[in-house]
Structures are given as C-alpha cells and as structure tokens.
Amino acid sequence: MTGDVVIAPAWADRRNPQVRMVCVPYDRPQYPASAGHAVSNHHGGPHMEEFDVIISGYGPTGISAASLIARMGHSVAVFERWPTMYGLPRLCSIDGESCRIVQAAGDVDQALADHSDVKWYHLVDGEGNVLIDVNFEKEKRVSGFYNRKSMYQPDVERAMDEAGRERGVQVFQGYELKAFEQDADGVTVTVEKNMRRYEGPQEDPKQYRAKYLIGADGANSIVRKVMKPEMDDYGFREGFLSVDVMRKGDYQFASETSTSICDPKRPISVIPIGNNRMRFEFLIDPDEDNTELLTPDVGYHFLESAWGITKDDVEIYRQVLYPFEAKVMHNWRQGRAFLAGDAAHQMPPFQGQGACSGMRDSINLAWKLDLVLRGLADEDLLDLYTEERRPHVTKVTVDTVEIGKVACTRDEKVIDELSAFLKSGGELPPPPTMPNLDFGILHRASGEVDRPAGLLGPQGPVEKDGVTGRFDDVVGWGFQLIVAGTDPLADLSDEHREFLAQINCVAANVGDGGDVKPLDAEYMEYFATHGVMGVLVRPDYYVFAGIRSLDELPAIIDDLRGQLKIKALAPA
C-alpha cells in the first residue's frame, strides 16, 4: 500500500485546479450532482422540488452552512427574505478558527481582501486608563491565521456565496420561510415572496421538501418560533447607536485596536472594519424610541463631540440602532429541524464572537449531516450537535456578558472602584479565553477527554507535489490524520483504511521526508507542546485524538468509528 494522501473527490475544492486530486488508494465515485429534484408530495399532492437540506436565512451562518454542505456533495436550497445580499457590515472581526471555516466555505483571501490584524481590545476608563487588556499579539496564530482579523463583512459573505453557488447551492432571494412541517421522511417548508421590497405581482405560497431544515434565520427565527425551545436568558439588554464611517483622503484610523470607553456618562466603542472603515458605537437605552438619532447630523455631531472627527475626515455610510441580548436555546434539534447561529444563541458583540459562533455551528452540523445523509451514521449523531455546541457557546456568551457589564455600565462607582483598584497596583484577572470542546465525539482515556482531544488542530503552510499553500487547500478538508515521521496508513489494516476513506479522511506525513512538507514549524511545535507524534482531527478542526505512538492508532480509529456509530461499510 502506498502512503498517498487521500482526497475524496467531493471534498476537494473543485475551484482550485492547482490542487491535484490524489484518489489512490481510496478512489470513490463522485457524489450525486447537487441539484434538487421533483418529488410527489407525501400527501399525494402536487409535485415539490426536494433537496437534501433547506436553509432558512442567508446571513453568515446560512451562507457558510450552505457552501460547506454543498461542498460535501449534497443538494442545498436557501430561502432568504431579502432580494439581495445585505451588502453592509454588521460584524467587523472574526477569529482564526472562523477564518479557517471561511477557507472551507469559500476563497478566504477574497474574503479578507480588506483586513487588518487587530492587536488589542482595550476597555479604558474616561481618562484613558486601561481597565481590561485583551492582547491578541500574545496569542498564538490559531488554525493557520492571526487570531483576530478585522474585515469587511460583505467581502466575507460574497466569497462564501460565490463558492456555494459554484458548488450547486440554489439561493432563493426575496422568499420568506413562513412555516414548516415534519414527517418521518422529511420536512415540508412553505415560502412566500416577500413583498416588502418587491414591486412585482404577488405569488402564491410555494412548498418545497428537504430531508433536513436548518433555521439560520437570525434572532427572530421563524424556525425557532415553530420549534419553541426553552432558553437561558442571561439578562443582558443594551443597545447601541452604531455609526459606520469610511475614511476620506489621507485620514488614518487606528485599525489595530478596538476600544471601549467605559465612561458611565457616555459609553462608546470604537472598532476598525478592515483598513478603510471604522465603527463608533454609542450606548443607548434599547427600550426608548431612539429614531431621532438616525439622522446624519446627529451622527456627525456624536463623532465630533466624542472623537473630534469631522465631515472632512470621514463619510458616514451607515447609521443604525442595535439592541443586544444574551440568550442560549436549550435544544437546537427537533427531529429533522435544526437551529444555528443567532437563531440558537445571541450575545452582545464585545468579544466579536456572534458570527464566529454561528459559523462554528455550521461546520459542526455540516459534517454530521454529511455522514447521516450518506447513510454511514445513524441519526443519533445529530443529537451531538447541540451537545457539543451549546456548552461552548454558553461560555462565550457568559464571558461576553461580563465584559459587557463593564463596557456598558452607567454606574460611576463601578468604574471609579476599578480605576482606583488598578492605580493602587491591583491586578485584574486575565481576560476570558476561548473554550475548548469538552463533550461529544472526542477520544477519552479513563473517562476523561484526553488532550489535545477537544483543542483546535493545527494548520500550517505546506508543500505537496510542487503545490504550496494552506494544508486544507493543498492536502484536503475533512477528517485529517496528520503524523510526523512516518506514513500513518502504512501499518493499518485494510478495514481501518477503508473506514478512513469512507469518512473522507486525508492522511499526511508531515515529518522529514514525508509526503507533505511543512513550510513552518506549526506542526512540530504543536506536537511537541502536546507530547504527541500526530493528531486525528475532525472536519470542524477540533482534535479527536492525539497520537502518542502508531501502536495506539488502530484503537483510536476504532474509537472514532464506535462513537460515530458508523454502520457496516458500504462496498468501496
């Protein structure tokens, strides 16, 4: 047997001709073309188009989910109530893990065309003294990217949208999901043309079928209204007047720093949006009528009085009021329907994690749906979506609320006490860290998650067969078996190799003389830090197991197979 890297056809990026398909020894047939097909209504009614997955909502969560699921070879339809992409930024920064998700969902370099590396997030008092210092410079690169990138959201959405459409996603823009029903075989959704921004004639409601439905339709999700999950409400309710500006001429922004000025008289946050734009957020009472704040004169007045910025320096291109809450739904699955993104959880923006969490939902659900849709895994696997994602997003939400309490306080005493404490030499606890994955499909030793299981796996620049680039682009996205110093497949049984091929696992030897040559120290440092010689990584980049010796690899693979409850292998 050779140690060739396995790239299963449907997961390889069809848009990158440079990446040569290496399908030996696990050459597999192409998945069916990803287009919907007409089926008879299960009640014997008119024919309806049927898809593997229907997604309600085409924000960052829906766009990423659609592109990833289509990349795995499944037919996907999206219904989005507005007729065009929104085209303006809501989120302004994402972390390294999310960059890697965008990489799988589209062209990440196109997505980050206008980006800056954010080095600090400072919460300061009214005099500019730093109260909380989040220093991204101290953090390691995560997932192959600097860990906090400010960027222009429309670029990110366009990159994933274009890739998704190339992969066969059918996007029905201007159609609102109104209702859905489930039965044993699938979901029937009812959609209506949204007449609010449409001049044409009213259309009759239409119905479509899918095996699964993802509600990625935001904070007011209709899918959630039907599912009626219980939720935890963390009692945070604040609002911002958000003034987004474009710089004029030579005017320069501090695009390396985000700042929240915790001045109880007027809390303000200042956040870069790539290199050319900036957001100024002024705290408001979300329960008052603030519509009079939505005129450019008010926006320019706020900018000048708070920051000394005038119309000569910048142009306001968007001014909007946002309420923020902190809520996490209990169950994100009901039969064949799922919640993802803001439909499943909402948090204030202080850690820049709302959309990142939505994209984490997308990739987590995508690979589980893939295994179930391909008939490899049992539907029970889909229950682990909530089990894995909810504790993760809950920690992020709770941490964000704690930061928000400082950033939004109207109580002078809170800030005065904090400032005095720091001036007297007191030290604040370090800022929150991102959670690891602690539940679900992870290798355990004596019942405990065996780290690095549950940590994010590495991605570095590599060279293979003369092609250089990020590992996922050059070698492949999917499960990844990466080992230093030896061919990880060499001593495996045929059955183990066949299992890895079935779940679309790529394999690589990144050690000296291996088939994949690392172009920096990422892999070796990672392995040394965790005392392993390799890792088996899930498609959402979380490590399933660290590999300390090749002898334990068969047992690790058996454990993965057992946890995924993979049915008897289909013939190769």
Ligand X SMILES: Cc1cc2nc3c(=O)[nH]c(=O)nc-3n(C[C@H](O)[C@H](O)[C@H](O)COP(=O)(O)OP(=O)(O)OC[C@H]3O[C@@H](n4cnc5c(N)ncnc54)[C@H](O)[C@@H]3O)c2cc1C
Where does this chain bind ligand X (CB under 6 A)?
Answer: 56-62, 79-82, 90-94, 176-177, 216-218, 222, 242, 322, 341-342, 349, 352-356, 358
Structure token digits, residue 142: 């995560």
The answer to whether 160 and 105 have CB atoms below 8 angstroms apart is: yes
Cβ neighbors of 484 (< 8 A, separation 6 or more) are 509, 510, 511, 514, 523, 524, 527, 533, 534
Q: Are 156 and 359 in contact (CB under 8 A)?
A: no
Question: How near is the Cβ of 489 to ligand X at its closest, in Å?
Answer: 38
Interatomic CA distance for residues 89 and 474, integer angstroms: 31
Question: Which lies closer to ligand X via its Cβ, residue 147 or residue 242?
Answer: 242
Q: What is the DSSP string of 133-190?
A: EEEGGGSPPBTTB-S-EE--HHHHHHHHHHHHHHTT-EEEETEEEEEEEE-SS-EEEE
Q: How far is the CB of 458 from ligand X (least distance, A)?
A: 22
Pick 63 or 500: Cβ nearer ligand X: 63
Query: Among residues 277 and 464, whose Cβ is nearest to ligand X?
Result: 277
CA distance 390 to 283: 29
Whichever of 13 and 80 has its CB closer to ligand X, that residue is 80
Q: Name the DSSP letter for residue 201.
A: -
Burial of 235 (C-beta count, 10 Å sphere; 0-12/13-18/19+)? exposed
Question: Per DSSP, what are the bridge partners of residue 48?
Answer: 39
Rounded to a whole number of angstroms, the CA Rg of the chain reads 24
Closest separation in Å from C-beta 305 to ligand X: 21
Minimum distance from residue 295 beta carbon to ligand X (Å): 19
Quote the least distance from Cβ 263 to ligand X, whole Å: 19
Chain position carrying tokens 């980006």: 115
CB of residue 411 to ligand X, shortest distance in Å? 23
Query: CA quadruple 498, 464, 31, 210: dihedral positive or negative?
Result: positive
Cβ proximity to ligand X, 92 vs 537, nearer residue:
92
DSSP letter, residue 439: S
Q: Which residue in this structure is represented by tokens 């972390």?
A: 95
Residue 463 carries which DSSP code?
A: E
Judged by beta carbon, residue 238 or residue 522, the one nearer ligand X is 238
Q: How far is the CB of 151 from ligand X (least distance, A)?
A: 9
User: 139 or 378, CB closer to ligand X?
Assistant: 139
C-alpha 446: how far from chain center: 32
Q: Considering beta carbons, is residue 188 or 242 the nearer one to ligand X? A: 242
Between 299 and 352, name the residue whose CB sits nearer to ligand X. 352
Q: Which residue has the tokens 């204030």?
A: 348
CB of 420 to ligand X, least distance (A): 31
**Residue whose token pair is 């696997």:** 381
Cis peptide leading into residue 430 (ω within 30°)? no
Q: Tally Cβ neighbours within 10 Å of residue 225.
A: 12
CB of 103 to ligand X, least distance (A): 16
> How many other β-carbons are positioned within 10 Å of the β-carbon of residue 285?
12
**Which residue is associated with the tokens 């659609």?**
66
Least gap, CB of 86 to ligand X (angstroms): 6
Q: Indicate the residue among 161 and 472 with the shorter CB distance to ligand X.
A: 161
Measure Cα distances from 539 to 175, 309, 530 in Å: 31, 46, 20
Listed residue (508, 460, 462) closest to 481, CA to CA: 508
Strand ranges inside 285-388, DSSP E: 314-329, 333-334, 337-339, 345-346
CB-wise, 247 or 318, nearer to ligand X? 318
Residue 87 — left, alpha, or beta (φ > 0 → left; ψ -120 to 50 → alpha)?
A: left
Query: What's the min distance (Å) between Cβ of 441 and ligand X?
Result: 23
d(CA 98, CA 463): 23
**Toward ligand X, which CB reaches closer, 129 or 290?**
290
Nearer to ligand X, 360 or 497 (CB): 360
Q: Is 125 helix (H, G, I), strand (E, B) or coil?
A: coil
For the bound state, the minimum distance from the C-beta of residue 118 to ligand X, rounded and expressed in Å, comes to 10
Nearer to ligand X, 52 or 192 (CB): 192
Residue 452 preceded by cis peptide, ω within 30: yes
Could you tell me the smallest distance in angstroms from the CB atom of residue 347 to ligand X?
7
CB of 177 to ligand X, least distance (A): 4
Q: Which amino acid is at 446?
A: S
